[in-house]
């Protein structure tokens, strides 16, 4: 019987690394992707030292369109099937869209939208066969436009819409599909985005570990959306309006 794995993107730090830890603690063998091979290797040693199954490491940059082929090839070579897919990789850039680096903003689309969509569709047959699930990491930012981070906010709106539609399509197959929408969380995301915390830093009060644990539990409970931590009232109202009008 082919061994089943949980594939997690963006697993070298932050929420992605915490998701790897929580899945491993719960008996899943994880396949981890990220740009930084040294970080992945350190995390893999930590997981095995804690008694977890040996992770499969796939260093790659999802801005590279060939990365998804590399992931599929590595998993095929390891003779494993994807049971759970966690699309966590993503980044944003802070500033006016017309002033930010053009290629950098297209890179946001490549990672946050294109790679997430490709992997979800590419491994859907395996997830269905194993009656597993897909957890897409969105953001509370996906519920409204975001001047100052226009492309990032728009990308997360796509994640919300795509996840909800995919959930409906895969429901007859017994597949769990959830979207994890944290508010601001103190991770390396802020530094890469070029965001200098000021007043907004008071919102960074939920740990990546807490977000990951709530995401894992939400997926296993087959929740439509998981909204951990603090979020402004207007965001929550929008989220509730979208996801509570139908039964989860």
Q: Cβ–Cβ contacts within 10 Å for residue 183, how many?
A: 20
- Give the confidence band of 202 by pLDDT, cuts at 50, 70, 90: very low
Residue 185 predicted with pLDDT over 60: no
Which pLDDT score is estimated for 144?
87
| Mean pLDDT of all residues in 220-232 | 83
Residue 89 predicted with pLDDT over 70: yes
Percent of the chain with pLDDT over 70: 83
Which pLDDT score is estimated for 242?
53
137 membership: H or E segment, kind and range? strand 133-137
Per-chain mean pLDDT for the chain: 88
| Mean pLDDT of all residues in 214-231 | 89
pLDDT digits (tens, 9 = 90+) for 5-59: 999 999 999 999 999 999 999 999 999 999 999 999 999 999 999 999 999 999 9
| Mean pLDDT of all residues in 162-189 | 87
Known catalytic residues?
152
- Give the confidence band of 234 by pLDDT, cuts at 50, 70, 90: low
Question: Which one, of 82, 91, 98, lies nearest residue 133 by Cα?
Answer: 82
User: How many CA within 13 A on the CB side of residue 103?
Assistant: 2
Q: In whole angstroms, what is the distance from residue 6 CA to residue 65 CA? A: 21
| Mean pLDDT of all residues in 198-227 | 82
Which pLDDT score is estimated for 206?
78
The SS3 assignment for 19 reads helix
Q: Quickly list DSSP for 34-53.
A: ES-HHHHHHHHHHHHHTTPP
- Give the confidence band of 198 by pLDDT, cuts at 50, 70, 90: very low
| Mean pLDDT of all residues in 227-245 | 56
Give, in degrees to the nearest 5, the angle at Cα 118 between 8 and 3: 45
Q: Model pTM?
A: 0.87
């Amino acid at each position: 019987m082919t061994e089943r794995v949980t594939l997690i993107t963006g697993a070298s730090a932050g929420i992605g690394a915490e998701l790897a830890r929580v899945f491993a603690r719960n008996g899943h063998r994880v396949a981890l992707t990220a740009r930084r091979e040294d970080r992945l290797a350190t995390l893999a040693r930590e997981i095995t030292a804690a008694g977890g199954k040996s992770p499969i490491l796939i260093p790659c940059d999802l801005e590279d369109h060939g990365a998804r082929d590399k992931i599929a090839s590595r998993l095929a070579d390891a003779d494993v099937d994807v049971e759970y897919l966690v699309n966590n990789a993503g980044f944003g850039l802070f500033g006016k869209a017309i002033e930010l680096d053009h290629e950098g903003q297209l890179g946001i689309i490549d990672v946050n939208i294109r790679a997430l969509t490709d992997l979800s569709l590419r491994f859907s047959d395996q997830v269905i066969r194993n009656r597993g699930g897909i957890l897409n990491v969105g953001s509370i930012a996906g519920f409204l436009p975001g001047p100052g981070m226009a492309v990032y906010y728009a990308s997360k709106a796509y994640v919300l819409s795509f996840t909800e539609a995919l959930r409906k399509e895969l429901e007859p197959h017994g597949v769990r599909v959830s979207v994890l929408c944290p508010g601001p969380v103190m991770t390396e995301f802020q530094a890469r985005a070029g965001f200098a915390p000021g007043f907004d830093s008071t919102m960074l009060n939920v740990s990546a570990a807490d977000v990951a644990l709530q995401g894992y539990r939400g997926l296993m409970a087959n929740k439509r959306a998981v909204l951990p931590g603090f979020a402004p009232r207007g965001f929550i109202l929008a989220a509730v309006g979208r996801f509570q009008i139908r039964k989860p």
